[in-house]
Amino acid sequence: DIQMTQSPSSLSASIGDRLTITCRASQGVSNYLAWYQQKPGKVPKLLIYAASTLQSGVPSRFSGSGSGTDFTLTISNLQPEDAATYYCQKYNTAPFTFGPGTKVNLK
């Protein structure tokens, strides 16, 4: 099965910062890659699908890129409400594995 890794596992950033989270698949998944945001005690929220397509209603400061095995989620102009854990998920073929998550803290 394809394994998903994310880096870093956690980070601290300031309001207004631009930050990048990386997701890597152990084998190519084409562009079948989604990003989710989960805040404590809340259900996950879809941010990006097809590696780079912004889900309706998601602020444009979120963007995704990549194809094959290497993907990035970028948050530009970090806002207080962006403090959360971010997960990638591949869905080209089952199992539809999630990455281990990246926790974003605010300084």
Partner 1 sequence: EVQLLESGGDLVQPGGSLRLSCAASGFIFSNYAMSWVRQAPGKGLEWVAVIYGDTSTTYYADAVKGRFSISRDNSENTFYLQMSSLRAEDTAVYFCAKGRSAVAAAINYWGQGALVTVSS
Residues that bind partner 1 (CB under 8 A): 1, 32, 34, 36, 38, 43-46, 49-50, 55, 85, 87, 89, 91-101
Least distance from partner 1 to the Cβ atom of residue 96, Å? 5
The distance of closest approach from Cβ of residue 16 to partner 1 in the complex, given in angstroms and rounded to an integer, is 28
Residue 85 to residues 33, 58, 80, Cα–Cα distance (Å): 17, 16, 13
Please report how close the Cβ of residue 15 comes to partner 1 at its closest, in angstroms. Answer: 26
Q: Which residue lies nearer to partner 1 by CB, 16 or 94?
A: 94
Q: Please, which residue, 47 or 75, has the CB nearer to partner 1?
A: 47
CB of 59 to partner 1, least distance (A): 16
Q: SS3 letters for 81-106?
A: HHCEEEEEEECCCCCCCECCCEEEEE
Nearer to partner 1, 78 or 85 (CB): 85
